[in-house]
């Protein structure tokens, strides 16, 4: 049986000490209610819900899975009751606009809540999680009638939402979308087509599901320029929210998956389903990215959830499992053997898990503040500036953190040894559940192309340079000779971080020059470049955490071991994980010729 305790101390360290959330909230009068006392109460209550209600359903939900019968999907035992508790507790409305029934608290606080629910039970969390993207899309692009009808009930949680992009013939290449939208002349459209891999596309948790669907209008331009976005409810609705007849949206099947078995992944058939246009005609992809950025950050969060759950259970097991003796002599002579936590290789895996989960959490919480800024922007210039910052870091978060989350899950299975391969311990489930995070919402390769191709090369490195200035500014303020002892100690982090930032900029320039003569350079280097970027970015946040820990230790603070552990973990990261950039630099700068010189006919003897 897996265990989970919400890491409240780690969360509060980030929001109070590292990122100064309360000073950040004071910038916006809309967030004035987000006081330390209220936030602390929210954290404690959310922890209780996740630990007591969601975690017990994690393994049982995987074992039972979702049931499909003639177009209807039944979620595992306990899921529906837990969802009702979620609604009754007001969790669905926490960080959404009070104008439409939300509590008006910061989106960043909603991200903290999502981390807890996702770590306790990712499959369950996907049902309300998909609604957040639908809500953000309708908030940004919907008209007043759409907001009044759909947004209010999505915020209340009485309805849930989805995003319907993928079709049997296309995944990432949405230019191949074939779903049709025929105007009816009354402002509605008949939507016809099949969508696959639709998370939470059909379930029994709510009476209605609001689908956000990509489709083509008649005579629309070919490719991505001819795609529009539509709202298609599962059940037809009156403007007052009264449910009518079914809307000819049927679930053809649900996928039999490797993991997240308690989350229904549906094949949806739209057969002249009635929908309404959201956003301008033929601008569906632009509107969709409102949803996609939300979804990609949410998927990045899954990497941290997997890492945290794997680490917590690995640590418990490593302290209890007795096997062999320490190489430096017996540590527990009264026992038949030492616990495996004394062995350096086990320690390395545990420290890697700890560095990933805590470092990744810092990356997410930093980004959550940017999301706050976007939601509160008063001018288009402010919104665009914040959106550019978000756009730069999103592919790094999504790909890097999910890859490391999967690594952490595999370390957990390895620490458990043979027991990790057995279902009752839960570790193999974390591995299976974590694996999808590197695939959906754009694979690691797709995120890497977005980062290197669009965010670096197409902008001539502007976003990278802006972020680098921020990091180098931090380095300048916390380095060199100083009478402050903790600043001198910070040099062990500042110098390698400064060098990594400088190298990161230089490699981007060199790749840009190489790509001018061979475009395959972008494809061959992109994943390694993204992972390089991720390690540098995480290094920045581990340095920030170390600096905050030193400041706390300089005062009269309780639980001094907590802050010492932060510094020791930062040291581990800089000594054992940041050096991974050296091999990545070598491979990303390699000539793509070795990848492309073997003809397709010679790839196989079949």
Q: And the tokens for 174?
A: 């949405």
Find, among 358, 355, 378, the residue nearest to 366 by Cα.
358
Kindly give the pairing relationship between strand 208-215 and strand 159-164: parallel
Question: Within 13 A of 10's CA, how many CA atoms are on the CB side?
Answer: 21
Q: What angle do CA 563, 564, 568 make, to 5 degrees?
A: 120
Find, among 239, 240, 242, 218, the residue nearest to 228 by Cα.
218
CA distances from 100 to 20, 109, 147, 295, 405 (A): 29, 18, 8, 22, 35
User: Residue-wise over 41-53: b if at least 16 C-beta within 10 A, else e?
Assistant: ebbeebbebbbeb
Q: Give the integer Cα–Cα distance in Å for 337 and 117.
A: 37
Q: Is the dihedral of CA 412, 414, 418, 421 positive or negative?
A: positive
Residue 441 annotated to the active site: yes
Is-contact 584 535, C-beta < 8 A? yes
Catalytic residue selected from 441, 470, 551, 571: 441
Find, among 146, 82, 79, 139, the residue nearest to 107 by Cα.
139
Contacts of 442 (CB under 8 A, 6+ apart): 172, 292, 296, 395, 398, 450
Q: And the tokens for 383?
A: 């919104």
Question: CA torsion angle for 265, 270, 274, 279 (degrees, to 10)?
Answer: 60
Q: Which helix (H) or strand (E) element contains residue 169?
A: none
Residues assigned a catalytic role: 441
């Amino acid at each position: 049986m897996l265990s989970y305790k919400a890491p409240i101390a780690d969360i509060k360290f980030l929001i109070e000490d590292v990122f100064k959330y309360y000073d950040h909230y004071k910038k916006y009068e809309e967030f004035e209610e987000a006081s330390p006392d209220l936030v602390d109460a929210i954290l404690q209550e959310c922890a209780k819900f996740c630990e007591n209600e969601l975690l017990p359903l994690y393994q049982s939900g995987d074992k039972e899975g979702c049931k499909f019968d003639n177009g209807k999907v039944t979620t595992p035992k306990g899921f529906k009751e837990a969802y009702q508790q979620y609604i009754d507790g007001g969790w669905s409305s926490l960080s959404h606009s009070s104008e439409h029934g939300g509590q008006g608290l910061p989106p960043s606080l909603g991200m903290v809540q999502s981390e807890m629910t996702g770590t306790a039970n990712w499959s369950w969390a996907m049902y309300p999680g998909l609604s957040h993207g639908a809500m953000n899309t309708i908030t940004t692009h919907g008209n007043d009638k759409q907001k009044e009808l759909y947004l209010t009930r999505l915020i209340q949680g009485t309805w849930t939402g989805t995003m319907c992009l993928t079709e049997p013939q296309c995944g990432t290449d949405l230019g191949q979308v074939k779903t049709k939208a025929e105007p009816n002349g009354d402002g509605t459209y008949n939507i016809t087509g099949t969508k696959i891999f639709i998370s939470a596309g059909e379930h029994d948790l709510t009476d209605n599901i609001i689908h956000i669907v990509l489709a083509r209008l008649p005579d629309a331009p070919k490719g991505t320029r001819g795609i529009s976005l539509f709202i298609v409810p599962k059940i037809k609705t009156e403007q007052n929210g009264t449910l009518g007849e079914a809307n000819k949206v049927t679930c053809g099947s649900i996928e039999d998956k490797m993991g997240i078995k308690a989350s229904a992944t549906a094949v949806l058939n739209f057969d002249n389903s009635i929908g309404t246009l959201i956003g301008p005609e033929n601008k569906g992809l632009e509107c969709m990215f409102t949803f996609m950025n939300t979804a990609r950050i949410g998927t990045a969060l899954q990497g941290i959830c997997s890492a945290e759950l794997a680490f917590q259970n690995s640590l418990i097991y490593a302290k209890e499992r007795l096997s062999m003796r320490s190489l430096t002599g017996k540590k527990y002579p009264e026992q038949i053997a030492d616990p495996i936590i004394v062995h350096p290789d086990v320690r390395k895996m545990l420290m890697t898990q700890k560095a990933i989960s805590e470092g990744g959490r810092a990356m997410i919480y930093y980004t959550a503040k940017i999301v706050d800024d976007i939601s509160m922007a008063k001018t288009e210039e402010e919104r665009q500036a914040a959106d550019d910052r978000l756009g730069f870091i999103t592919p790094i978060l999504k790909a890097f953190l999910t890859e490391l989350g999967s690594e952490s899950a595999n370390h957990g299975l390895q620490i458990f040894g043979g027991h990790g391969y057995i279902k009752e311990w839960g570790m193999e489930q974390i591995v299976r559940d974590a694996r999808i995070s590197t695939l959906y919402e754009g694979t690691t390769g797709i995120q890497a192309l977005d980062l290197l191709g669009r965010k670096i090369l197409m902008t001539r490195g502007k976003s990278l340079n802006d972020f680098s200035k921020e990091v180098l500014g931090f380095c300048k303020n916390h380095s060199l000779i100083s009478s402050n002892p903790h600043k001198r100690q910070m040099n062990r982090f500042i110098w390698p971080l400064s060098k990594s930032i400088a190298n990161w900029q230089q490699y981007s320039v060199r790749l840009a020059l190489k790509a001018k003569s061979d475009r395959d350079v972008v494809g061959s280097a992109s994943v390694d470049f993204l992972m390089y970027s991720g390690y540098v970015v995480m290094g920045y946040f581990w340095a920030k955490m170390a600096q905050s820990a030193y400041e706390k230790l300089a005062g009269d603070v309780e639980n001094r071991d907590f802050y010492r552990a932060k510094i020791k973990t930062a040291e581990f990261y800089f000594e054992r994980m940041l050096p991974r950039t050296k091999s990545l630099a070598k491979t990303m700068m390699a000539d793509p010729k070795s990848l492309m010189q073997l003809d397709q006919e010679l790839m196989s003897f079949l």
